[in-house]
Amino acid sequence: MRKLKCVIIALVIVSTNSIAQNYLDIAKVKNGFVPSNEYEEVDGETAVNNFVVKVTYPIVVNKKLVFLTGVDFSNINLKPLPSKSAVNLMSSGIRFGVSYNHTDKLKGIYLAMPKYIGNYKPGKTNFFKLVEYYFGNIK
Protein backbone atom coordinates (compact mmCIF):
# COMPACT_ATOMS: atom_id res chain seq x y z
CA MET A 1 0.00 0.00 0.00
CA ARG A 2 2.84 2.35 0.85
CA LYS A 3 4.53 1.69 -2.52
CA LEU A 4 1.28 2.51 -4.31
CA LYS A 5 1.00 5.85 -2.49
CA CYS A 6 4.60 6.72 -3.36
CA VAL A 7 4.04 5.84 -7.02
CA ILE A 8 0.86 7.94 -7.18
CA ILE A 9 2.58 10.92 -5.54
CA ALA A 10 5.56 10.60 -7.92
CA LEU A 11 3.25 10.44 -10.96
CA VAL A 12 1.34 13.53 -9.82
CA ILE A 13 4.55 15.50 -9.26
CA VAL A 14 6.06 14.44 -12.61
CA SER A 15 2.85 15.03 -14.57
CA THR A 16 2.23 18.51 -13.14
CA ASN A 17 5.78 19.61 -13.88
CA SER A 18 6.19 18.10 -17.34
CA ILE A 19 2.75 18.24 -18.97
CA ALA A 20 1.22 21.63 -19.64
CA GLN A 21 -1.35 22.96 -22.04
CA ASN A 22 0.51 24.94 -24.71
CA TYR A 23 -2.61 26.18 -26.47
CA LEU A 24 -5.71 28.25 -25.76
CA ASP A 25 -9.28 27.00 -26.17
CA ILE A 26 -10.90 29.62 -28.43
CA ALA A 27 -14.36 28.04 -28.16
CA LYS A 28 -15.64 25.54 -25.64
CA VAL A 29 -19.10 23.93 -25.69
CA LYS A 30 -20.22 21.53 -22.97
CA ASN A 31 -23.51 19.75 -22.39
CA GLY A 32 -24.16 17.66 -19.32
CA PHE A 33 -27.17 15.58 -18.36
CA VAL A 34 -27.90 13.82 -15.07
CA PRO A 35 -31.01 11.64 -15.46
CA SER A 36 -32.20 11.46 -11.85
CA ASN A 37 -31.45 13.36 -8.67
CA GLU A 38 -33.44 12.78 -5.52
CA TYR A 39 -34.76 15.69 -3.48
CA GLU A 40 -33.42 15.93 0.07
CA GLU A 41 -36.60 16.54 2.07
CA VAL A 42 -39.42 15.42 -0.23
CA ASP A 43 -40.10 12.36 -2.36
CA GLY A 44 -39.39 12.57 -6.06
CA GLU A 45 -36.63 13.03 -8.57
CA THR A 46 -35.53 15.62 -11.10
CA ALA A 47 -33.29 15.51 -14.13
CA VAL A 48 -30.63 18.20 -14.52
CA ASN A 49 -29.45 19.43 -17.92
CA ASN A 50 -26.48 21.82 -18.12
CA PHE A 51 -25.35 23.61 -21.31
CA VAL A 52 -22.28 25.93 -21.38
CA VAL A 53 -20.66 27.94 -24.20
CA LYS A 54 -17.44 29.93 -23.73
CA VAL A 55 -15.65 31.88 -26.45
CA THR A 56 -12.25 33.53 -25.87
CA TYR A 57 -10.45 35.78 -28.31
CA PRO A 58 -7.08 37.25 -27.28
CA ILE A 59 -5.83 40.18 -29.40
CA VAL A 60 -2.03 40.27 -29.40
CA VAL A 61 -0.72 43.82 -29.86
CA ASN A 62 2.97 43.11 -29.15
CA LYS A 63 5.13 40.99 -26.82
CA LYS A 64 4.14 43.08 -23.81
CA LEU A 65 0.43 43.75 -24.44
CA VAL A 66 -2.50 41.40 -25.10
CA PHE A 67 -6.17 42.41 -24.99
CA LEU A 68 -8.38 39.67 -23.52
CA THR A 69 -11.98 39.37 -24.77
CA GLY A 70 -14.67 36.73 -24.54
CA VAL A 71 -18.29 35.80 -23.94
CA ASP A 72 -19.93 33.15 -21.74
CA PHE A 73 -23.40 31.59 -21.70
CA SER A 74 -24.80 28.86 -19.47
CA ASN A 75 -28.22 27.28 -18.99
CA ILE A 76 -29.22 24.83 -16.25
CA ASN A 77 -32.66 23.20 -16.53
CA LEU A 78 -34.21 21.45 -13.51
CA LYS A 79 -37.35 21.14 -11.38
CA PRO A 80 -36.82 22.82 -7.99
CA LEU A 81 -39.65 20.79 -6.36
CA PRO A 82 -41.83 17.90 -7.58
CA SER A 83 -44.94 20.11 -7.47
CA LYS A 84 -43.29 22.93 -9.50
CA SER A 85 -42.60 23.15 -13.21
CA ALA A 86 -39.07 23.05 -14.60
CA VAL A 87 -37.03 26.27 -14.59
CA ASN A 88 -34.11 27.53 -16.67
CA LEU A 89 -31.31 29.13 -14.67
CA MET A 90 -29.40 31.17 -17.25
CA SER A 91 -26.36 33.40 -17.16
CA SER A 92 -24.47 35.31 -19.81
CA GLY A 93 -21.43 37.48 -19.50
CA ILE A 94 -18.60 39.19 -21.27
CA ARG A 95 -14.92 39.29 -20.45
CA PHE A 96 -12.56 42.09 -21.33
CA GLY A 97 -9.17 42.94 -19.99
CA VAL A 98 -5.46 43.34 -20.56
CA SER A 99 -2.42 41.15 -20.01
CA TYR A 100 0.70 43.30 -19.70
CA ASN A 101 4.33 42.25 -19.16
CA HIS A 102 5.73 45.03 -16.96
CA THR A 103 9.21 43.43 -16.79
CA ASP A 104 10.72 40.01 -17.46
CA LYS A 105 9.68 38.91 -13.96
CA LEU A 106 6.42 40.85 -13.49
CA LYS A 107 3.27 40.21 -15.51
CA GLY A 108 -0.15 41.69 -14.73
CA ILE A 109 -3.56 40.43 -15.86
CA TYR A 110 -6.38 42.93 -15.37
CA LEU A 111 -9.78 41.45 -16.20
CA ALA A 112 -13.42 42.53 -15.83
CA MET A 113 -16.18 39.92 -16.11
CA PRO A 114 -19.68 41.42 -15.75
CA LYS A 115 -22.42 38.80 -15.76
CA TYR A 116 -26.20 38.88 -16.20
CA ILE A 117 -28.04 36.11 -14.36
CA GLY A 118 -31.74 35.38 -14.62
CA ASN A 119 -34.54 33.29 -16.04
CA TYR A 120 -34.81 34.83 -19.51
CA LYS A 121 -35.55 33.49 -22.94
CA PRO A 122 -32.83 34.25 -25.49
CA GLY A 123 -34.06 36.17 -28.50
CA LYS A 124 -33.77 39.44 -30.37
CA THR A 125 -35.52 41.56 -27.73
CA ASN A 126 -33.61 40.12 -24.78
CA PHE A 127 -30.29 40.37 -26.62
CA PHE A 128 -30.71 44.14 -26.89
CA LYS A 129 -31.71 44.28 -23.21
CA LEU A 130 -28.43 42.53 -22.37
CA VAL A 131 -26.47 44.99 -24.51
CA GLU A 132 -28.20 47.89 -22.71
CA TYR A 133 -27.47 46.25 -19.37
CA TYR A 134 -23.74 46.00 -20.15
CA PHE A 135 -23.14 49.16 -22.13
CA GLY A 136 -25.96 51.52 -21.21
CA ASN A 137 -28.54 52.93 -23.58
CA ILE A 138 -26.79 52.82 -26.98
CA LYS A 139 -28.45 54.62 -29.94
pLDDT in tens, 8-49: 777 766 655 555 556 667 888 999 888 877 777 778 887 888
What does pTM read for this prediction? 0.59
Residue 5 counted as domain residue: no
Asked if residue 4 belongs to a domain, the reply is no
Q: Is residue 100 in some structural domain?
A: yes
Number of domains in the chain: 1
The amino acid present at 87, given as its one-letter code, is V
86 is a domain residue: yes
What pLDDT is recorded for position 137? 52
77 domain-assigned: yes
Residue 59 is assigned to a structural domain of this protein: yes
pLDDT of residue 15: 59
Q: In terms of residue numbers, what domain contains 113?
A: 23-135
pLDDT at 20: 54
Q: Is residue 138 very low, low, confident or very high in pLDDT (cuts 50, 70, 90)?
A: very low
Q: Is residue 31 part of a domain?
A: yes
65-82 per-position pLDDT tens digit: 999 999 999 988 877 777
**Opening angle at CA 28, ends 27 and 32, nearest 5:** 160
